[in-house]
Structures are given as structure tokens and as C-alpha cells.
């Protein structure tokens, strides 16, 4: 009830802005198909979100990554320049929303799940860090600390590791091989079979870390290791399970440290729920009052 009341009072996304977002979505879809740039669009979204620092509550998907293009992030400049073409057409859309929308559209266009996208992020020119992703070569402990420190779970670590199939489509950025682009559960199939390094997925330190159970022994509890391995097997057995979990994990990353306004529909539903709850409360109070009067009448008759 309290959560519903808070939702009803939350800021509401302007209808004009929502329409602008949908127009930008269409332009991004066309751009990504024509330029065949899905991998770097997703990378841009992920790097921008990864600037979030859970300790200071700063950073997150705020568009600031565009000001930190050097070193490991150099390859993102192409994605930023391409997004600028869409930004020019839709100047009201924030960079923060645009980059995350580009990531969502990119995943969907290469066969990934439909991700629940919500707009309303604010831009910032400053960030706590440069959005560098965790380096699994530094060990499982570093990988775990990076994810846990952002409020993410073991399931998120496993589900999001599939991005290496996506990043590998651009070897000039990833340093690994190349294979036809398709977002599915084949990363986990090959990982557990361990019989193919043709696209470089198994060469990636994150993939190795997921399978090196003994390496995780000092850092993870028995149940944590079981959960991680269970997710790996579940994704191999049922691609739909993987796609569902991935969509949830992707959404979590795209909203790190962000409080988003409600859409018009969500606001309407929240207000409707509050009105329904208020009506139910009134009915209950009226019934209680009538019941109390009835009991008082019976008591008086008994005394007579």
C-alpha cells in the first residue's frame, strides 16, 4: 500500500517526451541495421551505466561517458558519433536516455529479448569513474566485488557474461575473434562443452572464471557456487530462461543509481490503485460504523 502511494506521487514522464523517445527508438533501429553497429551500441550503454559507484551513489547511466573517451574506452567514440546523428533529430532526448535506448534496441535487433525500457534519466558531464568494466583477468574476487558493489547478483554475473559473444563481433575493440552475430545461449553451450575457441568467447577471462569453481572456493560460499553453476546449466538447457534473466539483468544495469519517473500509463495505474484502495477503506469504515451502531443497539435492548 505504501509503495503504491509513493508510486502515485512520483514524478510522471511528460507525454511529449515519451513520444520523442519512441521516435528516437525508430531512428536508432534504422541506424543500427544500416551501420551494423549493434555491438558498440551495447558497449556504449554498458560502459555509461558502469560509472555508477554504490558507495558514493554517484555516476550511473547519465551520459557522462561521452567525456571520458580515452584508453580502454577509445573504441566507443564511433558509437557516440553515431548516436549524435539521432540526438540531432531529437535534441530533447537526454544522452543518458539515448545511450541506454541504443543498447536496448541493439540487443533486440540481434535476436535478444525485449527489454523493459523506462526513460527519464538526467545528463551529467561529470562521473565518479570512467566506466571501465571489471577485468576478470584480475581474478574472480575482483569480478565479484565489481558486481556486488553495484547491487548486482551472481545471476547477473552469469547472465551478463553472454555479452562477450556480442563484443567479439568487433575484434578491433575486444581483441578476440569474429563470428556471425546472434544473441542466444550459445556462449554457455560452448563454455560448458569447452570444445571451441573459434570466436574467442572461451578465451575471455570471464568465461574461464565462471567455470573455475576451485578458484572461487576461497571467495564464494558453497551455495553461491551452486547458484552460479545452476544458472550456467539452466541457460544451456533452456534459452528462454537465459533470455528472461538477461533482460532483467540488463534492465538493472541500465538503471543503476537512477530514480526514473513513471510513464503516463504507470502513473494512471498507480492512481487507479490508490483510488481503489481508498474506496475499499471507506467501505470498510462505513461497515465498521454500522456494525458498531448495531452492537450498541443490541446492548441497550439486553439491559432493558
Q: Rounded mean pLDDT of the chain?
A: 76
Q: Is the torsion defined by CA of 133, 136, 139, 144 positive or negative?
A: positive
State pLDDT tens for residues 201-214.
Answer: 444 556 666 665 44
Output b/e per residue, 173-188; b: 16+ Cβ within 10 A: bbebeebebebbbbbb
φ and ψ at 58, to 5 degrees? -110, 165
Q: Give all domains of the chain, ordered by start, each with its CATH number.
A: 11-254 (1.10.520.10)
Task: With beta carbons less than 8 A apart as the criterion, state whether 111 and 45 touch.
Answer: no
How wide is the angle at C-alpha 27 spanned by C-alphas 24 and 31, nearest 5°? 135
pTM attached to this predicted model: 0.75
Q: How many CB atoms lie within 10 A of CB 240?
A: 10
Is residue 91 classed as helix, strand or coil in its secondary structure?
coil
- Rounded CA separation 87/95 (Å): 8
Q: How many CA atoms lie within 13 A of 189 on its CB side?
A: 10
Number of CB atoms found within 10 A of residue 269's CB: 15
State the pLDDT at residue 213.
47
The pLDDT of residue 13 = 86
**How confident is the model over 26-85, as pLDDT tens digits?**
999 999 999 999 999 999 999 999 888 888 888 899 999 888 776 667 778 999 999 999
- Which residues belong to the active site? 47
Amino acid at each position: 500500500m505504501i509503495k503504491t502511494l509513493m508510486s502515485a506521487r512520483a514524478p510522471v514522464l511528460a507525454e511529449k517526451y515519451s513520444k520523442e523517445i519512441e521516435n528516437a527508438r525508430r531512428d536508432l533501429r534504422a541506424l543500427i541495421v544500416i551501420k551494423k553497429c549493434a555491438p558498440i551500441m551495447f558497449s556504449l550503454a554498458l560502459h555509461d551505466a558502469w560509472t555508477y559507484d554504490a558507495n558514493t551513489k554517484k555516476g550511473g547511466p547519465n551520459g557522462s561517458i561521452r567525456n571520458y573517451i580515452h584508453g580502454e574506452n577509445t573504441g566507443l567514440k564511433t558509437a557516440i558519433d553515431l548516436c549524435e546523428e539521432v540526438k540531432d533529430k531529437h535534441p530533447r532526448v537526454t544522452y543518458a536516455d539515448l545511450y541506454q535506448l541504443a543498447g536496448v534496441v541493439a540487443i533486440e535487433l540481434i535476436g535478444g529479448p525485449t527489454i523493459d525500457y523506462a526513460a527519464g534519466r538526467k545528463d551529467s558531464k561529470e562521473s565518479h569513474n570512467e566506466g571501465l568494466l571489471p577485468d576478470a583477468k584480475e581474478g574472480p574476487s575482483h569480478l565479484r566485488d565489481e558486481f556486488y558493489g553495484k547491487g548486482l547478483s551472481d545471476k547477473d554475473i552469469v547472465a551478463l557474461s553472454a555479452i562477450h559473444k556480442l563484443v567479439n563481433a568487433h575484434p578491433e575493440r575486444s581483441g578476440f575473434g569474429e563470428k556471425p552475430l546472434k544473441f542466444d545461449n550459445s556462449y554457455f553451450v560452448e563454455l560448458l562443452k569447452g570444445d571451441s575457441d573459434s570466436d574467442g568467447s572461451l578465451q575471455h577471462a570471464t568465461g574461464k572464471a565462471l567455470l573455475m569453481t576451485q578458484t572461487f572456493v576461497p571467495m564464494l560460499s558453497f551455495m553461491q557456487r551452486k547458484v552460479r553453476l545452476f544458472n550456467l546449466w539452466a541457460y544451456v538447457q533452456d534459452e528462454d530462461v537465459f533470455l528472461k534473466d538477461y533482460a532483467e539483468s540488463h534492465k538493472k544495469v541500465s538503471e543503476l543509481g537512477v530514480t526514473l519517473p513513471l510513464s503516463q500509463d504507470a502513473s494512471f495505474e498507480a492512481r487507479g490503485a490508490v483510488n481503489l484502495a481508498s474506496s475499499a477503506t471507506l467501505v470498510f469504515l462505513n461497515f465498521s460504523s454500522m456494525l458498531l451502531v448495531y452492537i450498541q443497539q443490541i446492548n441497550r435492548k439486553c439491559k432493558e
